[in-house]
Amino acid sequence: MVSVMDVTISLFILANTFFIRSALSLKPGDCEVCVGVVNKLIEQLSNDEKSDPAKIEAKLSEFCKTTKKSENRFCYYIGALEESATKIVSELSKPLSWGLPADKICDKLHKKDSQICELRYEKVIDLNNVDLKKLRVRDLKKILNDWDETCEGCIEKAEFIKRVEQLKPKYVKQEL
């Protein structure tokens, strides 16, 4: 006969297991590059390709040849590029062929390689509407780097701001 204590312990274990699993699963905004790439891939697949892992892998390899920055790094991590060190592409193609959504696929990939969910898209800075004084020096340096410009002898934040303001008319179209 099952005692009340046994039932209570079982419910406690079940509740803790559920809590731990939900705490470990992806939250909104996690794994943004993975989810973005998988969703872009899904959009490019035809209906007959969506159910065949081999066709998904071929389409992924084709897609990855055109990627840049963090999306290219994602392709490298899962083995979709020729120069990739490991191949876990099947961890993406099989669940995708079963109809699993992008966030669930990325959760599974994250368990195989945690670097996958550390990738982030670069934030885009709208230079027409941003207060440069509120940006970090790192962001100011990135702006200059994107323009292939430097700030010789700059040490203080104000010097970087002055340089960005000086070059802004050359690189940024002003809104009317």
Confidence at 6, pLDDT banded by 50, 70, 90: low
In this structure, the answer to whether residues 111 and 142 fall within a common structural domain is: no
Q: What is the mean pLDDT of residues 137-151?
A: 92
In this structure, the answer to whether residues 113 and 157 fall within a common structural domain is: no
Task: Considering only residues 15 and 139, tell me which one the structure prediction assigns the higher pLDDT.
Answer: 139
Q: What is the mean pLDDT of residues 37-62?
A: 95
Q: Following DSSP, what letter does each residue of 85-149 receive, concatenated?
A: S---THHHHHHHHTT--HHHHHHHHHHH-GGGGG--PPPPP-TTT--GGGS-HHHHHHHHHHTT-
Q: What is the mean pLDDT of residues 88-93?
A: 95
- Is 7 among the domain residues? no
Q: What residues make up the domain containing 159?
A: 132-171
Q: Mean pLDDT of all residues in the chain?
A: 87
Q: Is residue 68 predicted with pLDDT exceeding 80?
A: yes
> What tokens does 67 get?
């990627």
Give the domain CATH number at 70: 1.10.225.10
